[in-house]
A and B are shown apart, each in its own frame.
Chain A
Amino acid sequence: MYTQGLDAAGADARADSAASDDEAALLQRFQRRVDAEEKIEPKDWMPERYRSTLIRQISQHAHSEIVGMLPEGNWITRAPTLQRKAILIAKVQDEGGHGAYLYSAAETLGVSRDQLIDQLLSGKAKYSSIFNYPTPTWADVGAIGWLVDGAAIMNQIPLCRCSYGPYARAMVRVCREESFHQRQGYDIMLRLSQGSAAQRRMAQEALNRWWWPALMMFGPPDADSTHSSDSQRWKIKRFSNDELRQKFVDFTVPQAQFLGLTVPDPELRWNEAAERHDIGAIDWREFEQVLKGNGPCNAERLAARRSAHEQGAWVREAASAYAEKRRARGASRAA
């Protein structure tokens, strides 16, 4: 999902073997609390591996929200109506907010905001593969809201019950805002699919572009993802990649049918016995390439993020100077 890098880096994600009897006892107590659905809070004892897994997961999630503003931000100046423009600004602003909530949650684990931002800007940090795809038409904005935010919701709802308190609380706030994102996207698709032949074609082409990348958002198939066991034992992750992907497909296919659009998968079938949709093979090589930095827009996204950061430097400096001036004034008045 927004933290697919975890799956790729899964090989080293094993629980620390307990270093001492003391630690073994702490670990046992920790696991008992997690099993009892108690939340773990920042100052509580936690295994180092729990801490590092969460820092990686939450920061990757935060970076995804921040980079996720770019593909849609691209359309703010070209939205077809003033209302669509206002809606899109509100949506993109929400994503920035999601990034801010999540960076704060990561910081409670002992990493600084500046470190996290450096990791993103230096290209060291991972973010979701999905934001490395282009948005050539207005219909892509609709497809993103409908499919990408839809997939995100599927992943984020179980995270509201994650064992780490600050992450769970951030997710509750995020989920409250996501539903609007998905609905505004579907609304765009609905209008296009009821429009002219050219508009319907635009909607279909956007679905063709986003369908497979959206399915890849859930990460590698369960058979290949080695990291899950710790995350599941620690109740960070409650459903497997394939379970969430299946649920997404089952929810989304009827929504596409309602739009009169065709899901671009010739092997897609309703499996009566299993009561689910069977899908064709996902091209995991494409996924690997995008994660490695070779997707259609990886370089462009990072460059846009860096230039936004650099071009904002004077604003941050001015804010610091202004705060300093106010402090000095307050001090001289007090003297």
Chain B
Amino acid sequence: MQTERDWPLFEIFVRARAGLDHKHVGSLHAADAAMALEHARDLYTRREEGVSLWVVRSSDITASDPADSESLFEPARDKIYRHPTFYAIPDEVKTL
């Protein structure tokens, strides 16, 4: 039987209001996902912080490596033409 000593870690996501994305708020240990939900309710929504919860086992998350962040994200830096502000539109042209 699994003992309390190896209860896995869960990452907790809360939807603050209908219409918003679930946002990561923290983590907690629980015996399983059902218990993680119950604890997340007590730990992260004591003051109406949310209307919906997701719990995900931390070990199920695949994260990018900070060492790769330059090669992953910096190529986007010189592609400023992807932003609308790159284009100078004459003042006379409206609603564009």
Contacts and interface: CB of A to CB of B under 8 A. Distances in A.
Interface of A: 41, 43-45, 90, 93-94, 97, 100-101, 104, 107, 113-114, 169-170, 173, 177, 313, 316-317, 319-324, 326-327
Main secondary structure of the interface of B (DSSP, over half): mixed
Given A41-B66, A104-B26, A173-B26, A320 B46 contact: no
Contacts of B42: 93, 97
A100 B43 contact: yes
A313 B3 CA distance: 10
Given A100-B28, A113-B29, A170-B26, A107 B9 contact: yes
Contacts of A173: 25-26
Contacts of A322: 31
B27 A316 contact: no
B46 A93 contact: yes
A93 B7 CA distance: 22
B76 to A, nearest CB: 18
B24 to A, nearest CB: 9
Contact of A114 (B5, B27, B43, B63): B5
B32 interface: yes
Interface of B: 1-5, 7, 9, 25-29, 31-32, 34-35, 42-43, 46-47, 63, 65-66
Given A97-B43, A320-B7, A323-B35, A104 B28 contact: yes
B32 A326 contact: yes
A66 to B, nearest CB: 14
Contacts of A45: 66
A25 B46 CA distance: 45
B32 A43 contact: no
